Amino acid sequence: MIKFDRATKYVTTKGIRKTILQNASVVFSRGRSIGLLGRNGAGKSTLLRLIAGTLRLDGGRIVKEGRISWPLGFQGSFQGALTGEQNVRFVARIYGVDTGELADYVEDFAELGPFYRAPVGTYSSGMKARLAFGLSMGIKFDYYLVDEITAVGDANFKKKCHDVFRTRLQGSDVIMVSHSTSTVREYCSSGVVLEGGTLTYYEDIEDAIRVHDRNMRGS
Amino acid sequence: MSHAKTHLRVVGALLVRETTTRFGSKPGGYVWALLDPSAHIFLLVSIFQAIAHSPALGTSFALFFATGYIAFQFYQAMSAYLNSAVRANRALLSYPGVAPIDTIVARCILQAGTTALVATIVLGTILTIARLHFSISWPPIFHAILNASLLGIGIGMMNNVLFVKFPAYEQIFNIVNRPLFLVSGVFFLVDSIPHPYQSVVLLNPLAHIIMIFRTGFYPEYRAIGADLEYLYLLSFLTFFVGMLIFTSYSAVLRKE
């Protein structure tokens, strides 16, 4: 369960203050995958970072139960001088999961061959993305955060990613930001629309998409 | 309790990571962390031995110089390494479990350990090779190391925030910090400075640290002017102000 309790968040960029959330309250219950909808710049990614816990609210609170992932496919933490395996072991240590088990899982998943034990700096962007995706799938989270799913690899690998992610989602939920309504429809059962600092929850994703479309036309 | 465990785990992971990456691209790896300051000391010792007749204290140039340099290094290496602790690891803050303070703690442990190891190797080598009759008194050594570390950590934590908030300050800090090495009494004894200037030099806490550190190796050295109370006051003040700034601006640190 993730609960926003009168949450308020401002962001200030170059002296311009923007309200992302204004006294927003909403509950995401366990077992529902949620699509976050909102116009460009409404603060969807900020919202995701608030849920992840890497940004703090200016007012109110967020109550979280369960283990929440970092944004799926995040590559920023890879240290170029370390090997793929060393990078994976680092994340395993942070999350307190078995380092050997995770290292084996990712080695098997990412299909990097001998490059798995070469510095990440030598990887192509596709190889890095495969390592990142494998790492995200290697740890079991209750909530997976997704900021715009990006497909990696060839058709075979894409299918594998899709299948593994599907399996993961049988026991876990996803909170997803995407501009593609078809992707949101595919993964999410419920939706939340972020508009003018308020969060509105819709049990049915179709309702959320409809409201979102209306908002977009209105502007 | 689970929070404390997370911090411990993250600090442990960062320690492994920092140790492997700090000199990771060069053959030899971590060994350079020890070799670099040691080589620096031996180089400077040989230069000074050539241009001066006798050290200001005792008979060994190497010991005189190394005690000053190492005491200074406990501050200098610490603050220099901590200055960029958060910046260097910013990407990792995207993992919810990693807090800015974890990067500080990890670098702090690594640097304190490294400098202590360097001190043991360098001073141990000098004392053995020179076959000096020495008697080490540990309390002043510990006082000096503790104060140098507190100062270094305090300044380092402050700089993590201030370098980001005021980029011009980074340049100013470096301009002020660089000559500190020359005026803190690594090459000379503060005791021998004529009177009105001595009190100015003694405002610098590092001058006290070096003097007190040397009393641990030179039993006959009186270190007139070294004030442990003043030193502790200043170090703890710096440490707490650093902690305060770091904690209250941790939001600044998380943002890009």
Grouping H, G, I as helix, E, B as strand and the rest as coil, residue A35 is: strand
Q: Does residue B1 carry a pLDDT above 60?
A: no
pLDDT confidence of B114, banded at 50, 70, 90?
Answer: very high
Q: Which candidate, A95, A96, A78, places its Cα nearest to that of A87?
A: A78
pLDDT attached to residue A1: 86
B21/A contact by beta carbon, under 8 A: yes
Q: Which residue blocks in chain A are alpha helix, DSSP H?
A: 44-52, 84-95, 99-110, 125-138, 155-171, 181-187, 205-218
| B191-237: pLDDT as tens digits | 888 888 888 889 999 999 999 999 999 988 888 888 999 999 999 99
Inter-chain CB proximity B254 and A74 less than 8 Å: no
Sign of the C-alpha dihedral, residues A81, A82, A88, A94? negative
| B69-82: pLDDT as tens digits | 999 999 999 999 99
Inter-chain CB proximity A77 and B96 less than 8 Å: no
pLDDT confidence of A156, banded at 50, 70, 90?
Answer: confident
| A168-186: pLDDT as tens digits | 888 899 999 888 888 888 8
> Which amino acid would we find at residue B4?
A
Comparing CB atoms, the residue among B21, B25, B254 nearest residue A54 is B254
Q: Helix (H) and strand (E) counts for chain B? A: 12, 0
Inter-chain CB proximity A86 and B20 less than 8 Å: yes
Grouping H, G, I as helix, E, B as strand and the rest as coil, residue A2 is: strand
User: Which pTM value belongs to this model?
Assistant: 0.84
Q: Whole-angstrom Cα distance, residue A42 to residue A9? A: 12
pLDDT attached to residue A183: 84
Cβ-based neighbours of A61, under 8 Å, separated by 6 or more: A5, A6, A7
Sign of the C-alpha dihedral, residues B82, B84, B88, B91? positive
Domain ranges in chain B? 2-255
Q: Whole-angstrom Cα distance, residue B150 to residue B162? A: 18
pLDDT attached to residue A11: 85
Q: Does residue A152 carry a pLDDT above 80?
A: no
pLDDT attached to residue B158: 95
CB < 8 Å to A76, chain B: 91, 94
With a threshold of 0.85, tell me whether the complex ipTM lies above it.
Answer: no
pLDDT attached to residue B253: 78
